[in-house]
Amino acid sequence: MADAPLLEFRQVSRFYGRGEAMIRALHRVDLSIRAVEFVSIMGPSGSGKSTSMNIIGGLDVPSSGEYLVQGIPTTNFTRTQLTLLRRHMLGFVFQGFNLLARTSAVENVELPLVYREMPPRERRKRALQALEQVGLKGREGHTTQELSGGQQQRVAIARAIVTDPAVLLADEPTGNLDTKTSREIMDLISRLNRDRGITVIMVTHEEDIAAYGKRLLRFVDGRLTSDEMRVREAEHVH
């Protein structure tokens, strides 16, 4: 399965509720994402973009169809297997940062390693390295409340990459940030994609943020309506 896509949707649908009140969040979506891609997902609210992210992230499962990771179907995965998938392959960055309150930056970054039962010394070393990579050297001991929004998102990114994930899932990563800070965060994410070869999948509703991606998916009413490679466009511009 060497040439299998990293992540693949086969006819994935997701319904909530039943009968008259049933909501169709995703409808027969086919999608495949290869390693080291930078994919932006856009669409109005209720279009299915967040549901797709949740399924990719192993936080939700399809009602029908198949979700494959490295060619392996996840259909019969238990809750524990989904957790292990997240733990070993995926890193999450959220709109609201989702750091633990009253906890220092380095402890937040260490958290995924704690659950991997890594020895404290190595854990600390790797967390400090990750913080350095996101440009927060010297702020390790600051608690969440003592950091600005941009800094908090950097801590969240450090937490996501500290486990060396194959995929970084970013759900509106700049949604709570001003324009300048948004640009800084997006530069950081682009760099991680380019330099460390981390596949990035990002949901956003801002065109200029989506433009950082090399591929753009658009969802409308639970269907994937467009899928374009922007690298070529960029080449045309040159």
Partner 1 sequence: MFIETAKLASRAISRNLLRSFLTVLGVVIGVAAVIAMVTIGNGTTAQVQAELSRLGTNTLFVRPGQLGPGRASTEAKRFEDRDVEAIRNQISGLRAVAPMNRGSATIIAGGENRSSSVIGTTNDYLIAQDWDLASGRTFLPGEERGQPACIVGETVRRELFGATDPVGQIIRVSNIACPVVGLLQAKGQSGMGDDQDDTVIMPLKLHQRRIGGTTTISSIILPAQDGVSTAKVQSDVEGLLRERRRIGIGRDDDFDVADMAQMAAAITGTTTLLTGLLGAVAAVSLLVGGIGIMNIMLVSVTERTREIGIRLAIGALEKQVLTQFLVEAVMLSIFGGVAGILAGLTLAYGAVGLLNVPFVASPSVILVAFLFSAAIGVIFGYFPARRAAQMNPIDALRHE
Nearest to residue 198, comparing CAs of 56, 39, 3, 2?
A: 39
13 vs 108, which CB is nearer to partner 1? Answer: 108
Smallest separation (angstroms) from partner 1 to the CB of 102: 7
Could you tell me the smallest distance in angstroms from the CB atom of residue 201 to partner 1? 15
Site string (24-63) toward partner 1, x via CB under 8 A: ------------------------------x--x-xx---
* Cβ partners under 8 Å of residue 192, min gap 6: 133, 157, 161, 168, 198, 200
Nearest-angstrom CA–CA distance, 193 and 213: 10
Q: Of 20, 117, 195, 235, which lies in the binding site for partner 1, with binding defined by CB under 8 A?
A: 117
- Residue 23 or 100: the one with the smaller Cβ distance to partner 1 is 100
56 within 8 A of 7, measured Cβ to Cβ: yes
Binding region for partner 1 (CB under 8 A) out of 113-121, 131-139, 144-152, 191-199: 113-121
| DSSP letter, residue 118 | -
Among 4, 32, 74, 111, binds partner 1 (CB under 8 A): 111
End-to-end CA distance of the chain: 36
Tell me which residues in 141-160 interact with partner 1 (CB under 8 A). 159-160
CA distances for 37 relative to 121, 155, 192, 201, angstroms: 33, 23, 11, 8
Site residues, partner 1 (CB under 8 A): 54, 57, 59-60, 79-80, 83-84, 86-88, 92, 94, 98-102, 111-112, 114-117, 120, 159-160, 163
